[in-house]
Amino acid sequence: MTLSGDNPSFVLKKVNEVIFEERPIPKLTGPKDVRIEIKQTGICGSDVHYYTHGAIGSFIVKDPMVLGHESAGVVAEVGSSVTSLKVGDRVALEPGIPCRYCDHCKAGFYNLCADMKFAATPPYDGTLCRYYVLPEDFCVKLPDTVSLEEGALVEPLSVAVHVSKLAKITPGSSAIVFGAGPVGLLCCAVARAFGATTITAVDLVQARLDLAKEIAATHTFVPTRGDSAAESAAKIKELLGGKAPQFAIDASGAAASVNTAIHVLAQGGTYVQAGMGAPEIAFPITEFTVKELTAKGSFRYGPGDYQLAVELVASGKVDVKKLITHRVKFEEAEEAFKLVIKGQGVKILIGGPSS
């Protein structure tokens, strides 16, 4: 199709129904605001879930909503008090704006802000459009060596950074990551960047594990269907020469993975939940207790995570380009979503509007 106008946008009307729609150009509402022309956007699992189900938990799509939140672009306009950016700068967009006033925000945990305005989370529009406005401090300038495609993948990389910071992965340690989707793959990469020397990726799909090995994993494991969590854990320990990992990350949300992670961890180890699965699962509480494990939840990203993610890409410690399997034009955005729903590819990037 041919698009025209000043701010074409990819809009979810209702479950399984999307349209291209002309939206008003967003205006700067404060002196620290920045308007960005979007150039690259990745598709996230949450975007797909809204597309296919219309809701994630209590976040329900009640009105048409622009999709997308993994984006990078070029600064098109700056507010009168903006000092760190200028028109033409390339930036990665951190797409969630907290209230800045609640106790969580003041304590430095703004990702836990109850009044967060997050792109493509109802009722807030996302970034699959030509123009998007953010405050200056949520636009992270990209070094010349980092492309706009890489800039779009800073968002999922920041999730992995946040997970690894919560785990407090140490140099020379052993980490295991369950789920080799985009976030799981990036958790493997960040674990290596943080100094882990043994990194095990677990998934049911061998092709994903092959990519994990190419990116960062030193070991891979395909669970045997029908095995208990304890049986899978025993096989993983055998793979690792009898040594249990100190850190476990679940990026799958699968109950079997959660249970196996608790069984495979060393005494005193740390477990971080990154993947979203069923609201409630059976949990091996005795195993968890007798090992004195630490368990943490991980939600989005917090202060410094985006900047560190950009630095990891710029330094070459994390190669996010390896995740890109498809590139499509803005006009083909719906086809990109259908590819993800079919399970094709790892990371699909959608270009910005070209007309």
User: What contacts 323, CB < 8 A, 6 or more positions away?
Assistant: 153, 182, 185, 186, 211, 215, 346, 347
Predicted local confidence at residue 5, as pLDDT: 63
- How far is Cα 43 from Cα 129, in angstroms, rounded to an integer? 13
- How far is Cα 81 from Cα 232, in angstroms, rounded to an integer? 56
**Beta strand pairing status for 247-250 and 174-178?**
parallel
Predicted local confidence at residue 92, as pLDDT: 98
pLDDT higher than threshold 60 for residue 292: yes
User: What contacts 101, CB < 8 A, 6 or more positions away?
Assistant: none
For residue 171, give the nearest of 186, 188, 191 by alpha carbon. 191
- How far is Cα 299 from Cα 136, in angstroms, rounded to an integer? 23
Distances (CA, A) of 143 to 37, 154, 179, 314, 319: 17, 13, 31, 7, 15
- How far is Cα 190 from Cα 165, in angstroms, rounded to an integer? 9
pLDDT, average across residues 99-103: 98
What does residue 97 show for φ and ψ, rounded to 5 degrees? -110, 115
pLDDT, average across residues 87-108: 98
Q: What is the pTM of this model?
A: 0.96
Reported confidence tier of residue 354, pLDDT bands at 50, 70, 90? confident
Q: Count Cβ atoms below 10 Å from residue 342 Cβ, excluding itself.
A: 8
Sign of the dihedral defined by the CA atoms of residues 144, 316, 323, 270, in that order = negative
- How far is Cα 212 from Cα 201, in angstroms, rounded to an integer? 7
What does residue 224 show for φ and ψ, rounded to 5 degrees? -85, 125
Would you mind telling me the total number of residues written for the chain in this entry?
Answer: 355
For residue 21, give the nearest of 11, 36, 6, 35 by alpha carbon. 11
First to last CA, the chain: 11
pLDDT, average across residues 237-243: 98
pLDDT higher than threshold 70 for residue 96: yes
Distances (CA, A) of 199 to 150, 161, 267: 23, 15, 18
- How far is Cα 51 from Cα 21, in angstroms, rounded to an integer? 16
Per-residue pLDDT reduced to its tens digit, 145-181: 999 999 999 999 999 999 999 999 999 999 999 999 9
pLDDT higher than threshold 60 for residue 4: no
pLDDT higher than threshold 60 for residue 129: yes
Strand segments, DSSP code E, in 211-290 are 219-221, 247-250, 270-273
Residue pair 110/133 in contact (Cβ under 8 Å)? The answer is no
Strand segments, DSSP code E, in the chain are 8-14, 17-22, 33-42, 55-56, 59-60, 65-66, 70-78, 90-93, 96-97, 117-118, 131-135, 139-141, 174-178, 198-202, 219-221, 247-250, 270-273, 294-297, 324-328, 347-351
Predicted local confidence at residue 57, as pLDDT: 85
pLDDT, average across residues 104-112: 97
Per-residue pLDDT reduced to its tens digit, 58-72: 899 999 999 999 999
pLDDT, average across residues 78-91: 98
| CA neighbours closer than 13 Å in the CB half-sphere of residue 203 | 24
Weakest mean pLDDT among 43-52, 119-128, 193-202: 43-52
Burial readout 63-102 (b: 16 or more C-beta within 10 A, e: otherwise): ebbbbbbbbbbbbbbbbeebeebeeebbbbbbbbbbeeeb
Instruction: Indicate left, alpha or beta for 168 from its phi (over 0: left) and psi (-120 to 50: alpha).
Output: left
| CA neighbours closer than 13 Å in the CB half-sphere of residue 193 | 26
Partners of 105 in beta bridges: none
pLDDT higher than threshold 60 for residue 1: no
